[in-house]
Chains A and B, each alone.
Chain A
Amino acid sequence: MHDFTIPVGPQHSSMKEPMCLRVKLDGNTITDAWMRLGYVHRGLEKILENKTVIKALYIAEHTCGICSFTHSLCFIRAVEGMLNINAPKKVNVLRVITAELERVHSHLLWFGFAMHEIGFDTLFQYAMRERESILEVFERITGNRVHHSFNKIGSVRYDLTSGDKIFILEKIKEVENKLPLYFSTVTKNKVIHARLISVGIINQFEAKKFGLVGPFARGSGVKIDVRKDDPYAAYKEADFELVTEKGGDAFARLIVRLREIEESIKIVKQMIKALGDEPIPKPLPSISLPNAEGYGRVEAPRGENFHFYRIENSLVTRGKIKTPTFINISVIPHLLKGKTIGDIPVILSSLDPCFGCMERIIVVKNGKEEVLKEDEFRYKYC
């Protein structure tokens, strides 16, 4: 029997973002898989260079549209660490509220998409409906739906009014009321079980070996979470559970993310209670920074997010961004081997990849030492 190699992507149905996956098939079984990346590479780390800190904050936020607040929080953590600024408690509480709302919106988006992949469009529409209520909250408290631009150095942009607090509580109540329905559907529906259970299994040992992070690792029973390991902002005061599941398959990851939505809603409620009445400080007008290096790490919806910055003459001269998807994507070829074509969308989406985040790297292979034009290169290698 012949082996076939078929391309999946870069423009394909299972994801909004471009990625080219090539799979080698023996009948319907995948024997080998490899990826070609770089479709969303924009050179963000280069763009960050020679910018003032205030400009760089907005650029760092534009790394990704789904977890944009997390990137700005990571930047702020690095810069505030360099400047030895301790933001007041209220500012930290507001940051935690926004970060957790972002986690809820990201997980709902993922949940909807995972259901869409297996053909369960009803739950996709339900999940997207709940997600809209979170976006309404974002629009009210930060002014924007996607790129919030909420963080300032030493402060945040807006304070919450008493009306806002009631609005947030109303909206997250709407989401919370719908969660039992999702849980019962997911745990009882036999179609979902058939598509997700025992698909893309990675055990605890392998998860540690690949260095996986976020809900992906927690689905395999690895207890890893920056919010617990290295608490930042106001997470020390938050009382929440580190959600882990033992299954290690796509279904376990689904349950981890759904339970994390519950935990995030719990944190938001606690934080709104802890919110004081004092006014938020004004952001620093102009900053002259000492020459320094600093890093920040936060728990993004997809796992650990790490930023490193070097500052010379008040300008950022080096930025390094390491995002969770960049770590997690390495496991995909390993997971795909031995599976069938129908499992590709499920396995890919169970990773919750975010390519806008990830693609800041291009690997150039120059083993054969031959000079090719762009078209020849395409003909030969693409």
Chain B
Amino acid sequence: MRNMIKKSPWISIFNASSCNGCDLEVLALLTPKYDIERFGCVWKSSPRNADILIVTGPTNGQTKNRLKKIYSQMAPAKKVIALGTCGITGCVFRDYYNTRQKVDEVVPVDIYVPGCPPRPEAIINAVVKLLKKL
């Protein structure tokens, strides 16, 4: 465990037209019950300071380019987590007029976390796997 935590990545979250469910579960990670700071992760609002970007929801007309922009603002050695079934496949919003592309067609994705919404334990698992990759 101690060997694993050599880095302490900061996490930023971007809501690309998600229904809030996934964002709530990311929020739950900050609470005393799940407490992601055990792994050295801190939630940051600005993507410029962050190493890991969590993207929730399918992209729509407005957020698609915004997501590209935010990804380019991040420092190199950046990792992306696509959170929730919406971001991975489009879920119920797939193929409708305002839904554009899946997250991995817009920016490169390192880890997919399926679920509607995924449980906080699953998100912690994904973050820990990324920690090993960094």
Chain A residues with CB under 8 Å of B32's CB are 125, 128-129
Q: Once the chains are docked, how many angstroms separate the CA of A58 from the CA of B62?
A: 25
Cβ-defined contact, B22 with A65, below 8 A = yes
Cβ-defined contact, A132 with B28, below 8 A = yes
Select A10's contact among B20, B46, B66, B116, beta carbons within 8 Å. B66
- Least distance between B18 CB and chain A CB atoms (Å): 7
Cβ-defined contact, B15 with A16, below 8 A = yes
Q: Once the chains are docked, how many angstroms separate the CA of A37 from the CA of B60?
A: 12
Residue contacts A-B, CB under 8 angstroms, 19 given: A13-B45, A38-B62, A39-B17, A39-B63, A39-B66, A40-B57, A41-B17, A46-B96, A62-B21, A65-B19, A65-B23, A65-B117, A128-B28, A145-B25, A145-B117, A146-B117, A356-B18, A356-B20, A374-B65
Interface size on A, residues (CB 8 A): 39
Cβ-defined contact, A47 with B96, below 8 A = yes
Cβ-defined contact, A39 with B62, below 8 A = yes
Q: Once the chains are docked, how many angstroms separate the CA of A147 from the CA of B32?
A: 22
B9 at interface, CB cutoff 8 A: no
A64 at interface, CB cutoff 8 A: yes
Select B98's contact among A10, A41, A146, beta carbons within 8 Å. A41
Q: Once the chains are docked, how many angstroms separate the CA of A354 from the CA of B24?
A: 12
B14 at interface, CB cutoff 8 A: yes
Interface, chain A (partner B; CB < 8 A):
10-13, 16-18, 38-43, 46-47, 58-59, 62-66, 68, 109, 125, 128-129, 131-132, 135, 145-147, 354-356, 359, 374, 378
Query: Beyond A40-B18, A41-B98, is A17–B93 a contact (Cβ under 8 Å)?
Result: no
Query: Beyond A58-B92, A64-B20, is A41–B60 a contact (Cβ under 8 Å)?
Result: yes
- Main secondary structure on chain A at its contact with chain B? loop
Given contacts A42-B99, A109-B24, A128-B28, 5 further A-B contacts (CB under 8 A): A16-B27, A65-B21, A128-B30, A145-B119, A374-B65
Cβ-defined contact, A68 with B17, below 8 A = no
Cβ-defined contact, B30 with A18, below 8 A = no
B127 at interface, CB cutoff 8 A: no
Residue among A62, A129, A146, A354 with most chain B CB within 10 A: A146
- Least distance between A376 CB and chain B CB atoms (Å): 13
- Least distance between A77 CB and chain B CB atoms (Å): 21
Q: Once the chains are docked, how many angstroms separate the CA of A43 from the CA of B65?
A: 18
Q: Once the chains are docked, how many angstroms separate the CA of A129 from the CA of B30?
A: 10
Chain B residues with CB under 8 Å of A145's CB are 25, 117, 119
Query: Beyond A38-B62, A58-B92, is A356–B98 a contact (Cβ under 8 Å)?
Result: no
B3 at interface, CB cutoff 8 A: no
B13 at interface, CB cutoff 8 A: yes
Chain A residues with CB under 8 Å of B38's CB are none
Q: Once the chains are docked, how many angstroms separate the CA of A18 from the CA of B64?
A: 13
Cβ-defined contact, B96 with A147, below 8 A = no
Cβ-defined contact, B98 with A43, below 8 A = yes
What residue in chain A is nearest B99 (Cβ atoms)?
A: A42
- Least distance between A20 CB and chain B CB atoms (Å): 9
Query: Beyond A59-B92, A147-B116, is A378–B20 a contact (Cβ under 8 Å)?
Result: no
Q: Once the chains are docked, how many angstroms separate the CA of A65 from the CA of B83?
A: 14
Q: Once the chains are docked, how many angstroms separate the CA of A82 from the CA of B20?
A: 30
Select B17's contact among A40, A66, A146, beta carbons within 8 Å. A40
Chain A residues with CB under 8 Å of B65's CB are 374, 378
Select B25's contact among A41, A131, A146, A355, beta carbons within 8 Å. A146
Cβ-defined contact, B33 with A63, below 8 A = no
Select B97's contact among A16, A46, A63, A66, beta carbons within 8 Å. A46
Q: Once the chains are docked, how many angstroms separate the CA of A36 from the CA of B46?
A: 20
B70 at interface, CB cutoff 8 A: yes
